[in-house]
Amino acid sequence: MAQQRTTRINTNENDTMKLSREEMIQALWKHDLKGIREDMANGDTDYLCAILHGDGFTQYNNLTDQQLLVEVHEYGLTN
């Protein structure tokens, strides 16, 4: 079994909140799942199809630490 990477990463300039890579990835996929559920309820499958086809979508575990931070901040998942 692969060892989980637990590097702590600053998520804001004040260093008041830190998340591990795994915590950031988990927060991102939870956010995505919520959006996918809402889209599906409205009959919209575009985002889900883009993920499944890999159209412009990189799996979160394949992003660099900096790219993860950008995604987390973009979705407003930090203070």
- Per-residue model confidence as pLDDT tens digits over 26-72: 999 999 999 999 999 999 999 889 888 888 888 899 999 999 999 99
- Rg of the chain taking only CA atoms, in angstroms: 14
Lowest-confidence segment of 3-7, 17-21, 51-55, 56-60 by average pLDDT: 3-7
Are the C-beta atoms of residues 1 and 60 closer than 8 Å to each other?
Answer: no
10 — phi, psi (to 5°)? -65, 135
User: 7 falls in which pLDDT band (50, 70, 90)?
Assistant: very low
Q: What is the pTM of this model?
A: 0.71
Q: What is the pLDDT of residue 35?
A: 93
Q: Give the other-Cβ count within 10 Å of 20's Cβ.
A: 14
